[in-house]
Structure 1
Amino acid sequence: MTDADCASVAEIRVLGWRNAYAGLMPQAFLDGLDVAENEEELRERLAEGRTVGWACFGPTHDSDVPRGSEVGVSWAG
């Protein structure tokens, strides 16, 4: 990710949380997520200059799930 990606990544993250956690988390919390604040947090993390996580996705390896996908995530503690 570069600085130029921060705005679009922040928008995707906020919309993703709002959709994925609707009905599972308090709506007030989800409504309070702010794209601009998230963008600034991303810029600050990016400025630190170190990699702390990694994610990828692709087709499932489960033969009984014909149209599924998998997500892989790793991060440093």
Structure 2
Amino acid sequence: MDGKTMGKFQALFEATPPNIKGLVFFSPHNARKVLTNENANKILRGLLKELNIDQITIHGLRHTHASVLLYRKVSIY
């Protein structure tokens, strides 16, 4: 991970209150306190609908992002 991305994560860690499970992506609304793929897709679906953008899943978004990075010749390492 590059320094800019690590800096963003560091800021996230500092801004997020600690949780008992020590999770990075913590969801107090989930019984297991984790952010699930299902919940992430639900949130994304709502945002896309609100913005009138065609639906895509988190998984599809990840692949699209990877394809754009490869197209721009970003190092896979």
TM tier, shorter chain? Answer: under 0.3
TM-score calculated relative to the size of structure 1: 0.27
Q: Return the structure number with greater strand share.
A: 1
TM-score calculated relative to the size of structure 2: 0.27
